[in-house]
Amino acid sequence: MTIMIGGDLKMPSMRLNGQIAVITGGGRGLGRACALALGQAGAETVLVSRTLSELQEVEDTIRAGGGIASSIECDVTDAGQVGATIGQLDRIDVLVNGAGINIPEPFLNVTEDHFDQTMSLNVKAAFVVSQTAVRCMRATGSGGVIINISSQMGHVGAPNRTVYCTSKHAMEGMTKAMAVELAPDNIRVNSIAPTFILTPMTEPFFEDQEFRKDTIDRIPLGHIGEMEDIMGAVVFLASPAAAMITGTSLPIDGGWTAW
């Protein structure tokens, strides 16, 4: 006997078949994980970064799994390059702003160059790429989704990360403002705020055992995040299952920001 529970309701799909997803920073770290996740969910992925060789590896991996992928070599801090590459795409359904940088150092040691590097990539580039994607989404009239890869540091503070925290708090504000303004176009904008995730960028930090212990002690679940931990979240936020979610941040932090 089949038991029908809520037979008039249908679980929204988390498949992304037929969708075109652009992922900046798609060649490594969290950007790579997002690209693989979206590809496995059925999206056609367009991978973007400055290093074509890294993108090729991800592209090959997606294709080996039966997906569709292509690569664009572009420095997203260069608005001209963004317009000449991403701006020439005929359609964008999903944008993941995954490119980012972190230069940990004491507040008084921060140089103007390091400040500019961090803000240029983490904030300005995400802003400019989003503008480019939204123009495309508006032209097709089919709406879209923008997912900003933020950080738990967009919600809290930490020593030696003043500039990074500044940039991620800015990204969180940008996410909310974009969500409100773009809602009439059926463009949803959200952020994902991971805790420390083991990536090529963060792995050197954890060679310091004192830092590693302090980090784990601050995470109620008691362990550092893995790249797989963000994969389900990015697919969920990109999918029809999140159709009513915009202007919010999804912490993937093991409870760090719940203290």
Question: Mind telling me the catalytic residues?
Answer: 164, 168
Cα separation, 192 vs 158, in Å, equals: 18
Stretch (H or E) spanning 252: strand 249-252
Per DSSP, helices labelled H in the chain are 29-40, 52-64, 79-85, 112-119, 126-140, 162-182, 209-217, 228-238
29 and 227 in contact (C-beta within 8 Å)?
Answer: yes
CA–CA gap between residue 44 and residue 94 (Å, rounded) = 10
Which single residue is written with the structure tokens 């997803």?
21
C-alpha–C-alpha distance, residues 33 and 117, integer Å: 24
